[in-house]
Amino acid sequence: MKIIKKNVFEGLVDELIENDEREIIGVQSKDSKYVFDRLEKAEGLELDYDVTILPPKKYFMPQRETLVEYETREGLEMEPVNEVIPRIIIGIHPYDLEAIKQMDKVFADSPKDSNYLEKRENSVLIGVNMQQTSDWSFAGSMGTATVDDGYDLMLTDLGKKYAVEIGSSKGSDLLEKISEDVRDASPEEIDKVEKAKEEIKDEFDKELDFSPQKLPSLLADTYDQDDFWEENAEDCYSCGTCNIVCPTCYCFDVQDFSDISLEEGERMRQWDGCMLEAFAEVAGGENFREERAERYRHRYMRKGRYLYNRFGDIACVGCGRCSSQCVPDIADPTDIFNKLWRGKDE
């Protein structure tokens, strides 16, 4: 563990903004909320925040991106496209780092998705331990309030200085530039960081009443409680917001766009959501998840069970974005999971 003064860190960020070829992204406040956005100055960084509107996923899987470009002037020519902007992203909370780790697995699974992977490889992740929590978050229960890896550098606020944990050579390379101002952490400082990490785990208002490891079997057991799913889905608008804001949702739609000559154009993917009505509809009108309750159940099953079966991770990191942004307030995973847990023996 290393220690740097806050003003040294800010100097480093300004120096990167000034001279590094990479785009520097950081958490900033916007209309009393927080967002990941391009940094103009280190001053704009807000590292003491609760949660951002959208997760940093957008830098690896943009809302819309080109996969293939084509041209038909002299026969059909198709080229793969990947618009990679190398980036340094500053201020990622542990639960979002965990979500990125999960996405890395999804897109590295065969066949590899280079559109995602190349963007990831060209990014540096600077995490920050939480000092405050969102009212909706339950990262403490999901084991994602802190992480041991998944970052290139990890910061912990110690008043006038940051403790810095180094997760990779990409991270240590950044510190090279200020090596004279970096020193080893003292045992007391290490202690402080560990204590801060321990303490934050208990700072969440929302909680899961049981270990998340029990989710896969709980959800298998409650899959066919149709009344339960119907009751809870009753007010759902099928708006898909809970998918769009989720750091572990990655389903997509693909569409073609051509220019006016119709001789060239591109194939693009964009975020899609399993809560939207047409998600499983095929030509001829058959819809394999026609009922609101079926789609509603599907989202929870996917978070707590399906993706676990496939990749070994509980695909909810407890950020609480879904519940905080659901207008009828029916998207809170702790609410649903706890109800299922309490009802399981009845």
Partner 1 sequence: MNEEDSPYLPESATILNVKKMAENEKLFEIELDSGEALNHDPGQFVEVSVPGVGEVPISISSSPTKEGNSFELCIREVGNVTGVIHTLEKGDEIGIRGPYGEGFPVDELKGHDVIFIAGGLGIAPLRSLINYTLDRREEFEDVKILYGCKKPCELLYEDEVEEWREMDEIDYRETVDECPDDVCWEGNVGVITTLIPGVDIDLDNSYTVVCGPPIMYRFVLQELKEKKVPDERIYLSLERRMKCGVGKCGHCQINGKEGEFYVCQDGPVFNYDVVKDFEEAL
Ligand X SMILES: Cc1cc2nc3c(=O)[nH]c(=O)nc-3n(C[C@H](O)[C@H](O)[C@H](O)COP(=O)(O)OP(=O)(O)OC[C@H]3O[C@@H](n4cnc5c(N)ncnc54)[C@H](O)[C@@H]3O)c2cc1C
Interface residues with ligand X (CB under 6 A) are: 282-283
Least gap, CB of 254 to ligand X (angstroms) = 7
Task: Identify the residue among 153, 163, 316, 336 touching ligand SF4 (CB under 6 A).
Answer: 316
Q: Does 237 bind partner 1 (CB under 8 A)?
A: no
Nearer to partner 1, 121 or 205 (CB): 121
Q: Does 241 bind ligand SF4 (CB under 6 A)?
A: yes
Using left for φ > 0, alpha for ψ between -120 and 50, and beta otherwise, residue 312 falls in: left
**Nearest residue to 93 (alpha-carbon basis) of 60, 58, 125, 141:** 125
Nearer to partner 1, 153 or 301 (CB): 301
Q: Does 274 bind ligand SF4 (CB under 6 A)?
A: no
Task: Identify the residue among 104, 118, 181, 230 touching partner 1 (CB under 8 A).
Answer: 118
3-class secondary structure, 259: coil
H and E: helices and strands count for the chain = 13, 12
Strand ranges, E, within the chain: 2-5, 23-30, 33-38, 64-71, 77-80, 87-92, 123-128, 153-158, 161-166, 183-184, 252-258, 264-271
Task: Identify the residue among 70, 210, 228, 311 touching partner 1 (CB under 8 A).
Answer: 70
Task: Identify the residue among 235, 256, 327, 342 touching partner 1 (CB under 8 A).
Answer: 256
The one-character DSSP state at 210 is S
- Taking the C-alpha atoms of residue 142 and residue 247, their distance in angstroms, rounded to an integer, is 14
Least gap, CB of 12 to partner 1 (angstroms) = 32
Q: Are strands 252-258 and 264-271 parallel, antiparallel or unpaired?
A: antiparallel
Which residue in this structure is represented by tokens 């280079």?
114
Q: Determine the interface stretch with partner 1 among 77-85, 123-131, 182-190, 193-201 (rule: CB under 8 A).
A: 77-85
Nearer to ligand X, 220 or 254 (CB): 254
68 makes contact, choosing from ligand X, ligand SF4, partner 1, none, with CB < 5 to 8 Å by partner type, with partner 1
The one-character DSSP state at 279 is G
- Taking the C-alpha atoms of residue 267 and residue 255, their distance in angstroms, rounded to an integer, is 6
Least gap, CB of 280 to ligand X (angstroms) = 10
Q: Does 343 bind partner 1 (CB under 8 A)?
A: no
80 makes contact, choosing from ligand SF4, partner 1, ligand X, none, with CB < 5 to 8 Å by partner type, with partner 1
Least gap, CB of 305 to ligand SF4 (angstroms) = 13
- Taking the C-alpha atoms of residue 329 and residue 336, their distance in angstroms, rounded to an integer, is 11
Residue ranges of alpha helices (H) inside 201-291 are 215-222, 226-233, 241-244
Task: Identify the residue among 159, 187, 284, 312 touching partner 1 (CB under 8 A).
Answer: 284
The H or E element containing residue 101 is helix 94-108
Least gap, CB of 282 to ligand X (angstroms) = 3
Binding-site ranges for partner 1 (CB under 8 A) = 67-68, 70, 72, 75-82, 106-107, 109, 111-115, 118, 220, 223-224, 250-258, 262, 265, 267, 269, 272, 274, 279-284, 286, 288-289, 294, 298, 301, 306, 309-310
